[in-house]
Amino acid sequence: SQVTTDMASLTREVERFAEYNKLEIETLKVREAYRKEFMGNVSHELKTPLFTVQGYILTLLDGAIKDKAVRKKYLQRANKGVERLIYIVKDLDMITKLEAGELHLDLEDFNIVELIQNSFDLLEMKAAKKNITLVFDMPYDRPVMVRADRDRIQQVVSNLIVNSIKYGKKGGTTEVSIENLIKNKVIVRITDNGEGIEKENIPRLFERFYRVDKSGSRKEGGSGLGLSIVKHIIEAHNEKIYVESVFGVGSEFSFTLEKSKKTPEVGNKSKVSK
């Protein structure tokens, strides 16, 4: 009977091993499919600007180079295309690091009001081109201290404001607000009265390369990676990001941040009203 027991346990061992191998193979298959899809998306994203740049170079070589004014115009356009390529490659680099969990956060205490003001200064021109007004619903001189990676949060805020301009209506408004949440959190909201997002598209917004309107968004010049980078950065901070949108009315993106312990109640709105 000793032999049969050993045989039975051996069979169990073999079965367990086979089961483990099957799981391992499934994981590898999923990873491989994911890698293929990623590479497919990358080459697709790079193709358009590459062909654009090539188009201008070929036209120049074809004789346009002799005309001084045309030469300058085409070189400027080719350069725009190269700028776009650099921008896409930078975003790709970022998303690869984020997905591999290789982003190192540099936590510090800073004033989020000042950061929002910086973003407004940087994006004012862009907004003005579409006659969009940037509104901050708090006094600039009342600091709100948070603890986070300042550069990464700057990237998040800029990205969300840029989107609100890109998908905003001409003559519209982008409003940014900060509110105290329960305990040690604040929530930053970026609200626009732009084109809005249809309900069925909302769950997919944060996927990389996902765009609601493929042609329209590409004309706007994004990489389709912005929101997935934003989400990764917020989640790396162990914080949350939310989106609410009504098609044809507008969208609101919001995210939470941890308040700084150093100056817990500075600039606290609810403190003022208490």
Q: Binding to ligand ADP by residue 194, rule CB under 6 A?
A: yes
Q: Binding to ligand ADP by residue 45, rule CB under 6 A?
A: no
Count Cβ atoms below 10 Å from residue 185 Cβ, excluding itself.
15
With contacts defined by CB under 6 A, name the span among 2-10, 103-111, 161-169, 233-241 that binds ligand ADP: 161-169
What is the dihedral sign for C-alpha 212, 217, 223, 226?
A: negative
Which token pair is 193?
């009265």
CA distance 168 to 60: 36
DSSP string, 238-265: T--EEEEEETTTEEEEEEEEEEPSSSTT
User: Between 47 and 66, how does the x/- string for binding to ligand ADP read (CB under 6 A)?
Assistant: --------------------
CA distance 73 to 67: 10
Q: At what angle do helices 68-99 and 226-236 cross, to 10 degrees?
A: 30
CA distance 81 to 128: 23
Phi and psi at residue 66, in whole multiples of 5°? -75, -30
Which token pair is 180?
């105290």
Q: Binding to ligand ADP by residue 193, rule CB under 6 A?
A: no
Q: Binding to ligand ADP by residue 222, rule CB under 6 A?
A: yes
User: Between 72 and 101, how does the x/- string for binding to ligand ADP read (CB under 6 A)?
Assistant: ------------------------------
Among 148, 167, 234, 257, the residue binding ligand ADP under the rule CB under 6 A is: 167
Nearer to ligand ADP, 74 or 120 (CB): 120
Using CB under 6 A, count the residues that bind ligand ADP. Answer: 22
| E-state strands within the chain | 107-111, 133-136, 145-149, 173-180, 185-192, 241-246, 250-259
Among 88, 116, 157, 227, the residue binding ligand ADP under the rule CB under 6 A is: 227
With contacts defined by CB under 6 A, name the span among 41-49, 52-60, 82-90, 194-202 that binds ligand ADP: 194-202
- CA–CA distance from 263 to each of 83, 109, 189 (Å)? 41, 9, 22
With contacts defined by CB under 6 A, name the span among 5-13, 60-68, 105-113, 223-231 that binds ligand ADP: 223-231
Nearest distance in Å: CB 246, ligand ADP:
11
Nearest distance in Å: CB 19, ligand ADP:
39
With contacts defined by CB under 6 A, name the span among 70-78, 121-129, 224-232, 233-241 that binds ligand ADP: 224-232
Q: Binding to ligand ADP by residue 192, rule CB under 6 A?
A: yes
CB 107 within 8 A of CB 220: no
Q: Binding to ligand ADP by residue 260, rule CB under 6 A?
A: no
Residues engaged in binding ligand ADP (CB under 6 A):
163-164, 166-167, 192, 194-195, 197, 205, 210-213, 217, 222-228, 251
